[in-house]
Amino acid sequence: MSVIAVLNAGGWGTALSVLLARAGHQVWLWARRPELAAAITITRENAAYLPGVRLPEQVSSTADLDAAMAGCDVAVLAPISAGMRTLAKRLAPLLPSDALVVHGTKGLELPTLLRMSQVLEAELGAGQAGRVAALSGPTHAEEVGRGVPTAAVVAAADPSVAQALQAVLNGPSFRVYTNRDLVGVELCASLKNVVALAAGMSDGIGGGDNAKAALLTRSLAELGRLVVAAGGQAETVAGLAGIGDLVATCTSRHSRNRRAGEQIGRGQTLDEILRDSRQVVEGAPATRAALALAERWGVRMPIVEQVYAVLFEGRGPLQALDELMARDPTGER
């Protein structure tokens, strides 16, 4: 049994707490807001972010970060991407020197364009260099929390770190694979949200199965080009962090990004959606990051370009589709 601190009591952090408790670990679930921690403690449920899932007795909730980190063997970080650096700064003086660190955040930092592991290593100090891991794959919190069979990947530059975390996370309903391609896994995790927005837009304008299949396939080609240009492995795009997460995110009713894209396809603006939504749509900042990375490395990403134009330049989804279809014919690559 390990003592595990799960930092951020959103839907994903709560689902991971339930998963880890069911695997026999003692879990501290840290919430930024004391009232949320208190409500979780009293009701044994995070009704705000993961309703209907009862938390096992092995999960204790607190708003005291010092208490959550005391004696922990593993720190699991699950904030939104924009909050990772702030959390890491708070965590740095509290992290035991031998603790493992894994994050489950699917995003990139703006404006730095850094991956989450890079942010963590910069803030946590030299002792964590090369030891930070990422958990990714088709892992909707709603299903993980209910114990629906799920497969995921944990990636770290150090294989021993990935294997140690695999042993902690693996369970009867949660099968974990290891991967050394941290670059590819983290980029796939972030940029699939851009594709989910595009898939939702296709749904919103009444696009058919053919259109969505073409969109997913060509998006994988774009993602593969970017991953390789960044130093990742093309094979990662064909794995759980790539096509696995892409399929789940682009087809599921649970996906916030796909749902936001569908709303845009039906005429809403991004500003309207963000104003009305309680949860973050990571695909919006990820689109900015993806286009900036494509320009940095000279990678062709026409689908990402059109998503950017719809989100931030006022282009209509139908016009974006027309422009994609009107591109010069080319070979499939």
User: What is the pLDDT, as a whole number, of residue 127?
Assistant: 78
* Residue 330 within a domain: no
The answer to whether residues 263 and 195 belong to one domain is yes
**More confident: 282 or 262:** 262
Q: Does residue 45 form part of some domain?
A: yes
In this structure, the answer to whether residues 101 and 137 fall within a common structural domain is yes
By annotation, the residues acting in catalysis are 192
> Looking at the domain assignment, is residue 107 inside a domain?
yes
Give the span between the Cα atoms of 154 and 20, in whole angstroms: 15
146 and 255 share a domain?
no
Answer for the pair 49, 145: CB distance below 8 angstroms, yes or no.
Answer: no
Pairwise CA distance, residues 31 & 51, whole Å: 16
The domain total for the chain is 2
Last residue of a domain, one of 135, 158, 180: 180
Of 146, 180, 214, which residue sits at a domain end?
180
Q: Are residues 207 and 305 in the same domain?
A: yes
Same domain, 261 and 224: yes
- Computed from CA positions of residues 155, 158, 164, 165, in that sequence, does the dihedral angle turn out positive or negative? negative
Q: Looking at 157, 180, 203, which one is the last position of a domain?
A: 180
Q: Are residues 121 and 155 in the same domain?
A: yes
Tokens 């936001």 identify what position?
260
125 in the same domain as 67: yes
- CATH number of the domain bearing residue 72: 3.40.50.720
Token pair for residue 50? 């993961």
Q: Is 188 domain-assigned? A: yes
121 and 25 co-located in one domain: yes
**With contact defined as beta carbons under 8 Å apart, do 175 and 200 qualify?**
no
For residue 130, what are the domain limits?
Answer: 3-180
The CATH number of the domain holding residue 191 is: 1.10.1040.10
Q: What pTM, to 2 d.p., does this model score?
A: 0.94
Q: Give me the mean pLDDT over the 187-216 stretch.
A: 95
125 vs 13: which has the higher pLDDT? 13
**81-101 mean pLDDT:** 95
Same domain, 51 and 158: yes
Percent residues over pLDDT 90 in the chain: 90
Per-residue confidence (pLDDT) for residue 51, from 0 to 100 = 96
The predicted structure's pLDDT at residue 252: 86
Report CA-CA distances (Å) from 14 to 28, 53, 122, 145, 273. Answer: 10, 9, 26, 8, 24
Q: Locate tokens 């989910």: which residue?
A: 196
In-domain check, residue 175: yes
- Mean pLDDT, the chain, as a whole number? 95
- Residue 267, number of CB atoms within 10 A of its CB: 11
Check whether residue 29 and residue 136 sit in a common domain. Answer: yes
Q: Is the pLDDT of residue 229 over 90?
A: yes
Phi and psi (nearest 5°) for 234?
Answer: -60, -30
What is the arithmetic mean of pLDDT over 214-230?
Answer: 97
